[in-house]
Structure 1
Amino acid sequence: MKNRASAAVAAALLVSLAAPVSLATAAPAPASSDTLDLTLLATTDLHGRVANWDYFSNAPYSDRAGDSVGLASVASVVDDVRAEVGPEQLLVVDNGDAIQGTPLSYYYAVQEPVHETGEVHPMAAAYDAIGYDAQVVGNHEFNYGLDLLDAYEDDLGFPLLGANVLDAETGEPALEPYTLVRRHVPGHKPVTVGILGLTTPGSAIWDKGNVEGRLEFQDMTEAAATWVPRVRAAGADVVVVLSHAGTGASSYDESVAPPENPSDVIARTVPGIDVMVVGHTHLDRPSQVVTNEVTGEPVLLTQPYRWGSTVSRVDLSLEKVRGQWDVAAAEASAIRTKDYPESQEILDLVAEQHETTVDYVNQVVAQSTEELSAVTSRYEDTPIIDFIQKVQTDTVDAALEGTEYADLPVLSIAAPFSRTAVFPAGDVSVRDIAGLYVYDNTLHAVTMTGAQVKDYLEYSNKYFATVPAGGTFDPARDTGAGNTPDYNLDILAGVEYEVDLSQPVGSRIENLVLADGTPLADDAQVVVAVNNYRRSGGGGFPHIASAPLVYDEQKEIRQLLIDWAQERGVIDAADFWDESWWLTVDGVRVP
């Protein structure tokens, strides 16, 4: 990744780091000429969505709430508000996770990567046409490597920020830490808005293979404490922090990386911030106010809903205090993009890339002998999940031939990512397989002991609620306990086991044996195939992040599934389905 310390940042480092402007300064009632209104529009977590299109269903996107998605609808919102308030009183920002998440973004990262072809990234083209002022780098921006990220950054017509993303060699920011946007409304003194970008440090874990030795990720709160005063000292009247992080707990052990979601901590402890845009956690939280402990002043947090389903609107009322602009009031609301048409300009801009992606995902790669559905995969063993297990096991097993691990049993971990995934009887396309494996994970393998495998399964099966002896298991009621998402129910193949739901979490795994019926001894050594996200600590599962790595060829699991199906031409459950795990209640198997 290029070291992109901006001229503005270099200049800022030379100024005195005076205390940030006090937000508590009292002022007399301002005259009308001493007031100014600004509007900030913000999006987050677009994840590769330009059109309101579901590539997996080959149809317009739809959900129960009737929301729409994509930058084409966002564009209409921006055009409407820009016409309302005027271009000099509007700023538009994005909070990261832009270039991963759909077959469109996948295709131009892997199949025809823009850093090799020189083609403009479709997301960059859409953002530019809308007229964004700044964007922060999200954790998923690192998924495809730094060459692609560099190309995407070059395609943008505005700064890509990341104050806490550091060059591992120099310790300096690898991206522009902040940008200053100057607005001059006729009849008013110009106002300068400083926009600082921060991103979750979890990328050091989740994309270790892409960033290790090249980038480091500073604690977000520490970075904010360093850079907010510098942004103020560089002349910012208003400070907006783009925080690609949520509020609350981390999904990983914080001993291996700084906190994942400290947005509220930053607002509470770092003085000088007026507005924070929050993201990463895919929540719909248009307005939250946190009181800064240093100044006693409110800090407004706004989190737009993921995929462009909403645009956060922040209306700022400014007044002059001793000749300088100061934020007197800030209010946030959500604009739902379903109430706006898609911009034909944006659709036309990416039409060719969209059609290329549609053609790609509709390629038939194999014939399925029967329909295979994932709808019940979260509570019973299903062939479609065993398809993933088979491919992962075969890939690792073949790679370890001739090594010291060749004689160890190979287990495999997979999770039910989608309840709607299905292989129809007959033609199976790329989009059918991509709809089953919706993440761009690569395949790893580690060694673990039998005791560690059991611990791992115990942790995974906290997904289920406790069902008392004699009770009846209800999938609608008893799955996802404690708000555990489906993707955090890890299923193991290569072993057989039962999960007794009448027992407390941590004491549920019974009759754990290898596939040949041999009990899995605590000190037994096994190889475990697992995706890179889980292996790097995502989800906080025990032992896996520290387990010795024995396989990592950077092969994407989704592509391995496609290749396996395409090479054989037939998907037959008889070739891979092995019912090997069961739910029980007090020893009685759930029917």
Structure 2
Amino acid sequence: MTDSGERTTMTRRTAIGGAAALAAAGFQTAPAYAGSGHGHDKTVRLSVLGTTDLHGNVFNWDYFKNAEYDDSAHNDIGLAKISTLVTAYRDQLAQDRHAPRPLLLDAGDTIQGTPLSYYFAKIEPITGGHIHPMAAAMNAIGYDAAALGNHEFNYGLDILRRFQQQLKFPLLGANAQDWTTGLPVFPPYVLKKVHVPGRAPITVGILGLTNPGTAIWDKAVVENKIKFGGIVELAKLWVPRVRKAGADVVIVSAHSGMDTSSSYGDALPVPENASVLMAETVPGIDAVLVGHAHQEIPERLVTNKVTGEQVLLTEPLKWGMRLSVIDLDLQHVRGCWKVVSRHSQVLNANSVAADPKVVDVLQKDHDKVVGYVNSKIGTCKEAMSAATAPWEDTAALDFINFVQADAVSKALAGTPQANLPVLAIAAPFNRAAKIPAGEVSVRDVAGLYIFDNTLLGVTMTGAQIKAYLEFSARYYKQVSGPGPFPSSDVTNAPTPTAPPGTPDYNYDVMGGLAKPLTYKIDIAKAAGARILDLQYGQVAVTDDQQFVVAVNNYRQSGGGNFPHVSKAPVVYNRQVEIRQLMIDYVTATGEVDPATFHTTDWSLVSNGAPIVINS
């Protein structure tokens, strides 16, 4: 058996606990409220700990690299390390006999994202009786509540409901509503009675809200079953109800980023990211644990426009890299607890060792998945890398497009679309992905396609294809001259819907199956007028020419807000995962030969002349 990642990690750091662990993680004691103390007229500090976007990470392990996880910032990941921080924080508070026990929350996207979570959804599904690794880990740590994330729906409602049943705490989603009645199909909130030694208990209301984009991104799973109201709209409905139910404090766990924006444009009437908007416009919220955007925001304070009260927001990055610590100072005023001061910070998980308790619970699952992803399934004649895929035609992305187009083409046999030319789209999801020459494992192939997307086929016209490629080409910054340019000067251009820069996953490369689809992208020109010499089989594409395009479910359902594709007629949808199609192709053929599918069909130019880009 391949050595597991956590055994490697456990030898790397000396286990530390309590105050030393917190100090190493960057903990700073929150400033005390001016009236603090332990008398009946003094404040009580309620602490709430939070994680988000764990995405199937328990161990500090990169399954695609078969090595301990590391990045340029030397972050560590996983619930095993989060558990160490949580235990240290609880232990520190336990030394103060007046301090309430802290609550522990999560803001969603839990059961998708790693081979560990994939394996127990698809290879050995938890519907067969096995407890989901994330449920086992979160139960062991002792979470109090979690919100649904949009990725919770990726594997279908049966897996999600089984995961929900396995949890020892509620999975909340006030805006996940029955398609017909509008009633919530998950618990909207939970009330937690927090014991305060010698004082009245604090009743904490925890409201969960998930991302309305789920209606687009997992349309095939939720359509006609679950609809998703807006974050702000449903908070306005439920926060007063939580208060009326007896909550002294209201905390929202929201799988929705801080600042108002939407990757799906106007495809939905409500924004994807709306946590600050909610805090500003919905009265009665004390703090928000934010998720979805994968940002590290230790503390943000906004003023509610109705009450004038401050609302605290914090987002602890992703994958268990950080733990948010919310400190709320409360005073007992006229028989009720009232928040009088608030502060938050994040703790860094890279400073501590994994909790042996969590490691022991999940080690067998981890070892099983490490063995699975390292199993050999074929060979590759030439190495393929995605490192330069965002700015040049590579065999790596051509392989994805070939497998997708081939699967759709074979499925169309005997249908009215059987004779239409088949194209496919792929995005450079993972610049670090590569398939080596020689033996190829499951993890080599899976690393090229890190999302659990399924494959569809739609029909589009030549004019729509060109518009699609023009939209995709917004990914590039406008430059002139032959270069050489560093890639950072050319890729990831900011747009109104992506002010920090267009992510790699929202840039699509398109290719043909039986014949090449060729084009040039002139990045000296303004966005919207960049696609030159669009040809299929060396013949200019006409506006009314008909094509079948193989796309992933994220794109077809409106993800990225690309034109035409979400409304295009669907001619293929067997709910087959693209990553699994790639694995099956290598397993069936036994060999990957880039010469059979890779040609240079598109290129970047400046005023028609080739340009040079350095990585």
Query: Which TM-score band (shorter chain)?
Result: over 0.9
1:504 to 526, 532, 556: 526
Q: Could you say what secondary structure the match of 2:350 adopts?
A: helix
Residue 60 in 1 paired to residue 107 in 2?
Answer: no
Pairwise CA distance, 1:254: 2.7
Q: Give 3-state SS (helix, strand or coil) of 1:432's partner.
A: helix
**In 1, distance between residues paired with 2:37 and 2:75?**
42
What's the CA shift for 1:169?
3.1
**Contact 1:36/1:317 (<8 A) preserved:** yes
1:236 alignment partner in structure 2 = 247
Q: Show the counterpart of 1:8.
A: none
| TM-superposed deviation, 1:467 | 1.4
Aligned partners of 1:30 and 1:320 also within 8 Å: no
- Counterpart-to-counterpart distance in 1, 2:438 and 2:444: 12
Match in the other structure for 1:170: 181
Counterpart in the other structure of 1:526? 547
Q: CA deviation at 1:542?
A: 1.0
TM-score normalised according to structure 2 size: 0.90
Q: For each residue in 1:54-111, what CA deviation from the matched residue of structure 2 results, as whole angstroms up to 9, or x when unmatched? A: 1011111111111110000000010001011138431000110000000000000000
Measured after TM superposition, the shift of residue 474 of structure 1 is: 3.0
Deviation at 1:470, TM superposition (A): 5.3
1:222 to 211, 226, 233: 233
CA gap 1:88/1:95 in 2 versus in 1, 3 angstroms: same
Question: Which residue does the alignment assign to 2:152?
Answer: 141
Q: Residue type matched to 2:600 in 1?
A: E
Q: How does 1:258-337 map onto structure 2 within 5 Å?
A: 258-337=270-349
420 and 170 in structure 1: CA distance in 2 versus 1, 3 angstrom threshold? same
| Separation in 1, partners of 2:366, 2:101 | 33
Q: In structure 2, how many angstroms separate the alpha carbons of the residues matched to 1:44 and 1:475?
A: 31
2:15 counterpart residue number: none
Structure 1 residue 412 corresponds to structure 2 residue 424:
yes
SS at match of 2:540: coil
Q: Note if 1:32 corresponds to 2:62.
A: no
Aligned residue in 2 for 1:440:
452
Q: In the TM superposition, what is the alpha-carbon distance from 1:29 to its structure 2 partner?
A: 9.8
CA distance in 2, matches of 1:401, 1:119: 39
Aligned partner of 1:389 in structure 2 is: 401
SS of 2:183's equivalent in the other structure is coil
Choose from 124, 132, 136 the match for 1:125.
Answer: 136
Distance 1:507 1:169 in 2: 44
Separation in 1 of the partners of 2:194 and 2:89?
A: 16
What letter corresponds to residue 565 of structure 1 in structure 2? V
Q: CA deviation at 1:257?
A: 4.8
Q: In the alignment, does 2:598 pair up with 1:577? A: yes
Pairing 1:528-547 to 2, within 5 Å after superposition: 528-547=549-568
Give me the whole-angstrom Cα distance separating, in 1, the residues matched to 2:196 and 2:486.
Answer: 61
**Pairing partner for 2:589 from 568, 576, 580:** 568
On the 8 A contact 1:46/1:306 being kept in 2, the answer is yes
Residue 206 of structure 2, aligned match among 184, 195, 216: 195
> Which one-letter code corresponds to 2:596 in the other structure?
D
Which residue number in structure 1 is paired with residue 506 of structure 2? 488
Query: Hey, what's the Cα distance between the residues in 2 that align with 1:385 and 1:470?
Result: 25
Q: Do the aligned partners of 2:260 and 2:277 also contact (CA within 8 Å) in 1?
A: no
Query: Is the contact made by 2:482 and 2:610 (CA closer than 8 Å) also made in structure 1?
Result: no
Once the two structures are superposed, residues 322-344 of structure 1 have per-residue CA deviations (whole angstroms, 9 ceiling, x without a partner) of 12100011100010011111001
2:260/2:271 contact within 8 Å kept = no
CA contact (8 A) 2:458 2:571 kept: yes
The normalised TM-score by structure 1 is: 0.93
Tell me if structure 2 keeps the 8 A contact 1:95–1:137: yes
| In structure 2, distance between residues paired with 1:572 and 1:358 | 26
How far apart, in 2, do the equivalents of 1:95 and 1:234 lie?
A: 22
Name the CA distance, whole Å, in 1 between partners of 2:454 and 2:476: 27
Native 8 Å contact 2:455 2:550 kept in 1: yes
RMSD: 1.4
Name stretches of at least 5 consecutive residues in structure 1 with no aligned partner.
Answer: 1-26
Deviates more, 1:163-172 or 1:305-314: 163-172
Question: 1:73 — aligned with what?
Answer: 81
Contact residue 483 and residue 611 of structure 2 kept, 8 A: no
How much has 1:476 moved relative to structure 2? 3.0
Q: In the aligned structure 2, how far is the partner of 1:455 from the partner of 1:170?
A: 39
Q: Indicate the SS of the match to 1:481.
A: coil
AA at the equivalent of 1:56: F
Quote the Cα distance in structure 1 between the aligned partners of 2:607 and 2:79: 51
Deviation at 1:585, TM superposition (A): 1.1
The CA distance in 2 between the partners of 1:375 and 1:216, in whole Å, is 39
Deviation of the 1:471 alpha carbon: 4.8
**Distance apart, 1:472 and its partner CA:** 4.0
The AA in structure 2 aligned to 1:327 is V
**Whole-Å Cα distance in 1 between the matches of residues 482 and 234 of structure 2?**
54
1:211-235 residue CA offsets vs partner (Å, 9 max, x unmatched)? 1111111111111001000100111
Whether the aligned pair in 2 keeps the contact of 1:467 and 1:473 (CA below 8 Å) is: no
Counting aligned pairs with the same residue, the percent is 50
2:27: which partner in 1? Answer: none
Read off the aligned partner of 1:432 and give its amino acid letter. D
Deviations 1:447-491 (A, max 9, x none): 111111111111111111111245544323211111111111100
Does residue 458 (structure 1) correspond to residue 470 (structure 2)? The answer is yes
Distance in 1, Cα, partners of 2:433 & 2:490 = 21
Q: Which moved more, 1:83-92 or 1:189-198?
A: 83-92
C-alpha distance in 1 between matches for 2:364 and 2:80: 15
Three-state SS of the structure 2 residue aligned to 1:404 is coil
* Contact 1:205 1:257 (C-alpha < 8 Å) held by counterparts: no
Counterparts of 1:53 and 1:214, CA distance in 2: 36
Contact 2:267 2:561 in 1 (8 A): no
Deviations, residues 344-383 of structure 1 (Å, cap 9, x unaligned):
1101101111011001100111111121111111111011
Q: Secondary structure at the match of 2:407?
A: helix
Q: Is the partner of 1:32 in helix, strand or coil?
A: coil
Q: Which amino acid in the other structure matches residue 593 of structure 2?
A: D
Q: Distance in 1 between matches of 2:391 and 2:590?
A: 29
Alpha-carbon shift at residue 170 of structure 1 (Å): 2.7
Residues 379 and 439 in structure 2, CA contact (< 8 A), matched pair in contact too: yes
**Distance in 2 of aligned mates of 1:463 and 1:470:** 19
Specify the code of the residue in structure 1 equivalent to 2:40. Answer: S
